Structures are given as C-alpha cells and as structure tokens.
Amino acid sequence: MESVFEIIAEPNRRAILSLLVSSQQSVGEIERQLRMPQPTVSKHLRVLREAGFVESTVDAQRRLYRLKPEPFQEVNAWLDRFRRFWSDHVDALERHLDRMDQSAPAKRKTKKRPRGPNRGRDKGEKK
C-alpha cells in the first residue's frame, strides 16, 4: 500500500483531485478537462479510490467521483506542525521589518510594503 504522500506525489492524480475539489465529476468530464486518455484517468481514479481519496456513485450510465475528507485530514495533521513553524517565522520577519521601518530616518521614507496575509489591518483600514 502506497503512503498518502506517494499517492499525491503523482501530478496527474493531483490534477484529478484539484478538479474534484469544486464538484463531483465523471470519468469523461475529467478526461475532457485534463485532456488525458480515458484509460489513464481510470487508472489514476482506481489508485485514488483504493487509497480512500475518492468514492464513486452510479448515476444512470455514468460513474461520478467525489473527494473523501479522511486522507486530506491526515495530510493536514502532518502539515500542521510545519504551518506553525512557518507562521512563527513569518510573524518574526514582519516584526523585524516593522522595527526597521520605525528606526528608518524620516527623510528616507520608502513606499509602504503591501500587507501580507499574516499582517493585521490597522483600525479603520478597509479591504
């Protein structure tokens, strides 16, 4: 049995998963959108189904595939400790840059840096 990471390491499988994020899809729809041959799509869907990433239902003449959350929760749990590491470092960098801005000579005003996703908005500042 392949690990979750071995499953999602394959670019075609990641492309299929990305399509299924927005809605369930049939093999034919996936094939057309990704411009992949039907046997390739079916092969990757089988791997994803066996690994628990997708499930299928029959709708008349076609089989519809949709994502299952459990494997993604496993990936999310593994990534969580790295997210904290990254966030702490980004926050420290922002604090450092703020201190540099405050200590810069008044004459040498530079353009304001755009606010990143980790930076809070000032009071009254609108989106």
| 20 inside domain | yes
Tell me what the pLDDT averaged over the chain comes to: 83
C-alpha to C-alpha distances, 38 to 41, 75, 101, nearest whole angstrom: 5, 28, 56
Residues 6+ apart with CB under 8 A from 7: 13, 47, 48, 51, 53, 71
pLDDT bracket for residue 82 (50, 70, 90): confident
Total domain count for the chain?
2
- The tens digit of pLDDT for each residue in 29-75 reads 999 999 999 999 999 999 999 999 999 999 888 899 999 998 888 88
- Find tokens 């990254």 and name the residue: 86
Residue ranges making up the domain that contains 83: 77-101
Share of the chain above pLDDT 70, in %: 80
| Cβ atoms of 64 and 24 closer than 8 Å | yes
CA 66 – CA 57 distance, rounded (Å): 9
Structure tokens at 5: 């990471």
Say yes or no: 16 and 33 in one domain: yes
Range from 2-11, 20-29, 92-101 carrying the lowest mean pLDDT: 92-101
| 92 inside domain | yes
Model-level pTM? 0.64
Closest C-alpha among 54, 47, 26 to residue 38: 26
